[in-house]
């Protein structure tokens, strides 16, 4: 299979994964009076969600193309599977990232210049 065919099957696979992910996040809410709602609350959040979807889709395409070029994905189904897997793995990785509050500048610093957590 050519590199471009592997990339196209990867694109299809990652698009399917993203479509399933987005449809799973869309729910009717009381705020929308029972209508189905996009997975963002504020319209200003839409571009970053779309950007993240595009990045994961490109990652799936790239992974399938690399697997095809390396001889790992020799069939359309294998390239499709690489395309499906990449966005899902990336999404699960980012689900594991925890954001903590950064200490403020008025927090006392220890002798090494770091913020003192005991204060």
For residues 78 and 93, what is the distance between their CA atoms, to the nearest angstrom? Answer: 22
Q: In terms of DSSP H, where are the helices of the chain?
A: 3-25, 46-69, 76-95
Amino acid 117: pLDDT? 55
Amino acid 26: pLDDT: 78
116, pLDDT greater than 60: no
Confidence band of 110 (pLDDT split at 50, 70, 90): low
Estimate to the nearest angstrom the gap between the alpha carbon of 99 and the chain centroid. Answer: 16
Q: Answer yes or no: is pLDDT of 15 > 80.
A: yes
Contacts of 74 (CB under 8 A, 6+ apart): 1, 68
In this predicted structure, the answer to whether residue 107 has a pLDDT above a threshold of 60 is no
Q: What is the pLDDT of residue 64?
A: 92
Write down the pLDDT at residue 114: 60
Residue-level pLDDT at 25:
78
Phi, psi for residue 110 in degrees, rounded to 5: -80, 180
Strands 27-28 and 36-37, sheet pairing: antiparallel
Residue 16 pLDDT: 93
pLDDT in tens, 16-54: 998 888 887 777 777 767 777 777 777 788 888 888 889
DSSP state for residue 72 in the 8-state scheme: S
- pLDDT value, residue 96: 83
């Amino acid at each position: 299979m050519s590199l471009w065919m592997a990339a196209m099957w990867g694109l299809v696979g990652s698009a399917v994964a993203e479509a399933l992910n987005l449809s799973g996040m869309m729910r009717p809410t009381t705020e929308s009076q029972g209508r189905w709602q996009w997975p963002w609350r504020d319209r200003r959040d839409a571009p970053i969600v779309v950007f993240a979807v595009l990045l994961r889709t490109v990652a799936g395409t790239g992974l399938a193309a690399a697997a095809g070029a390396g001889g790992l994905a020799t069939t359309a189904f294998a390239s499709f599977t690489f395309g499906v897997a990449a966005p899902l793995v990336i999404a699960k990785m980012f689900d594991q990232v925890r954001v903590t509050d950064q200490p403020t500048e008025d927090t006392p610093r220890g002798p090494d210049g770091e913020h003192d957590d005991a204060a």
